[in-house]
Structure formats: structure tokens, C-alpha cells
Amino acid sequence: MTPRRVLTLTGEVAVVLVVVALAAGQVLGYPVLLGYVETGSMEPTLEPGDGFVSVPAPLAGDVEAGDVVVFRAEELQGGGLTTHRVVGETDRGFVTRGDANPFTDQDGDEPPVKRAQIVAHALQVNGEVVAIPNLGTAVTGLQDAIGDTQRRAAALTGSRSLLGTQGLTYLLFALSALLYVVDLLIDDGRARDRSRSRSRDSGVSPGLVVAALAAVLVVSATAAMVVPAGTEQFGVVSAEFESENPTVIQQGESSTFEYRVANGGLVPVVSYLEPASEGVAVQPTRLRVGSRGTATADLTLTAPEDTGYYRRYVTEHRYLAVLPVSLLDALYDVHPWLPIVAVDSLLASVVAVLGLVLLRGRRVRVRSRESRHGRSTWARVRRRLR
């Protein structure tokens, strides 16, 4: 492989990683692979516009004092994702503070941060955040450029499918295909004097075709498992009186109601439900939901003895039912992300085997009928007319 080809492939991979990370962040609602800060609340650790390597919370492990985390705030700046440092822990949750702020977030209106609210950690080495200067500025500029390109393409074609994450996927593969075509054209221009036997080796590599198909399937499957899942919040009012509202509960008592899990896809799914805070119980903890079907579990919320408003969380993990349930159970017990890896690996392997068997190692080429028959299309049309 020539140095120029290596450089081209490196560029394609870099574009794919950045755009996929941005697309995944938009779909999931939190930073994936890369994150950045927009304000100066984390100075001098992170200046406005600085980036950091984002580690998803399920992979980062336990939360400890000193960790810089991304969490879903309820009151800070009107709610939304906030990147601050954990400075303590109480019975009600974690205490957070921006490095540049003199007071903690909980000294204001922000309640203690529950573990279920934390979506990612900033990568730290020897206690120091790995900062990427001006990454946020570059990412914001790239997002604006991509959004502008999507809007222009949608206006030009009259199709709204080019907007949003779906359109971003289309643009990603179009860009990758364009880079590959340009590379092939350059190779073709340098190899016009090669023999006919050597030209048979030209064309798109079957491995590249299979990899592209597998990537599309894996991305779609991962989105089908990750996007509908997540953590759901319930606001519980511990009251001195009884109420017909299932979330207004007499102090010290419990309320049970149905928790619905819907599957809008054609492939059955296996859903795992687990309490993500105190005062929550779910039965059963595993549901199998058929194609375009629904299933229910009994969700029990318990109100504390003290009156007031409390937050309760339930986390759902969802997987395509393409593996035996016993195997999904075993993988889930080790780590909730392992079933996703196993399902994606299975689907990618099936596509790879089928693709390589059907293509039989042959390159995918577009042959002109003129070169095959020695005459142009216009000549064949005139011959048929005669």
C-alpha cells in the first residue's frame, strides 16, 4: 500500500470517527468520545471551548470525589448537560462544583446529583483532565458546517431525509465514497498503460463493500438498542394524605403501577429493568417484547417518611433478541454493554460471511458495455432501430 493510499485511508477513518461521534452524541443526548465546555465554570482546568475525552458512565466505573463528570442538571442554566467536578457525596447524591466557582451547585437550587444523572466522565491521567485546546470551537464549527450542508442538500433535493442524524449518516457515507472514488480516479490516471490483465485487479475491494454494509447494520442495530433505552425519572411527592395520583404517595407508603415497554421495531427485543435510586422496585426485571408489541412490569415507588418532593429513577437496557436469552443474561450480569457488543459482533459476522461468499473475493467493478462489446450505446440503439 502506497503512502498516499495510507494517508487517504487515515483521512477517511478520521472523518468517520469524528462524524460518527458527533452523530452518536446527537442521538444519545450526551457526548460520545469527545466532549467540550462552552463556559468558564471549569477554569483553569478547562477553558471555554476546550475539549476532553468523554468516557461513558457505564464504562467509567464508580464515581469518586475529584472526578469531572457530565450530568443532566435540573436547574443549572435552565437544565441540560453540565460538566463539573464531584467534590463530595451525601445520602441524597453527589455534590458538584465548577473549578472556577466559589460555591457548590447544591448551595444554589441544584439538587444533589444522582448516579443515574451522570452520563459521562472526563478522562483523567494522574488526576489531571486530558484537555484538548479549542476542540469545542472546532467541533462547533464542524457542526455548523454539517448542519448548513444538510440544509442546502435538503433544499436542493426537496427531501427532509437529509436533515438530522439520518441525513448525517447519508453525508458520511457519501463523503467516504467520494474520497474512495477520487483515489480510484487518481490510480486510474497513473495506470492507463497497464495491461488488460492488471486492470482486472481494479475496482472496489470486496472487503470494503462488506465492511460498509456491516457498519450500516451495526450502527442501525446499536441505535435500535441504545436510543429507546436509558434512565427514566419519576417525581414522587411524599404527602400527609392519600391521593389517586400514583406519584403522590402518603409518607412511608408505596404505590404500584404498570411500567410499559414498547418495541416499535420488527425484531423482538429483551429489556432489562433495574432500580437506579432508592425507593424503587421492579417486577419482573426482564421482559421479552415481540415485534411492534408492548410488555408491562410492576413498578413500585416508596415515599420517604419525611414529606417533600423526591426523585426516583428506573434504568432500562434493551437488546435485540438475536441471541439466546440465557446468553444475554450471562453477558448482562458481567456488564450491560457486553450484550450490545455480542449482538453487533454477530450481525457483523453474518454480513461478512454472506458478503464474502457471494462476492467470492472478486472486486466490485462497473464495466462499460462499450468496452465489453466494442461499440457505443448509440450504435447499439441504431442497430436495434434498424
Tens digits of residue pLDDT in 181-217: 666 566 555 555 554 444 444 555 666 667 777 777 8
Is 166 found in the same domain as 240?
A: no
Is 174 found in the same domain as 32?
A: yes
Is 169 found in the same domain as 307?
A: no
Is 176 found in the same domain as 33?
A: yes
Q: Containing domain of residue 38, as a range?
A: 1-185
- The number of distinct structural domains making up the chain is 2
Is 306 found in the same domain as 181?
A: no
Is 275 found in the same domain as 128?
A: no
Domain of residue 124, CATH code: 2.10.109.10
Is 147 found in the same domain as 234?
A: no
- Whether 212 is covered by a domain: the verdict is no
Is 151 found in the same domain as 264?
A: no
Tens digits of residue pLDDT in 357-382: 765 655 555 444 444 444 555 555 55
- Whether 70 is covered by a domain: the verdict is yes
Is 255 found in the same domain as 143?
A: no
pLDDT at 366: 47
Is 141 found in the same domain as 236?
A: no
pLDDT at 256: 93
Tens digits of residue pLDDT in 27-55: 556 666 778 888 899 999 999 989 898 88
- Whether 107 is covered by a domain: the verdict is yes
What global pTM score does this model have? Answer: 0.61
Domain of residue 260, CATH code: 2.60.40.10
- Whether 204 is covered by a domain: the verdict is no
291, 268 contact by CB (below 8 A): yes
Tens digits of residue pLDDT in 130-176: 998 887 777 777 767 777 777 777 777 766 655 655 555 556 556 66
- Whether 353 is covered by a domain: the verdict is no
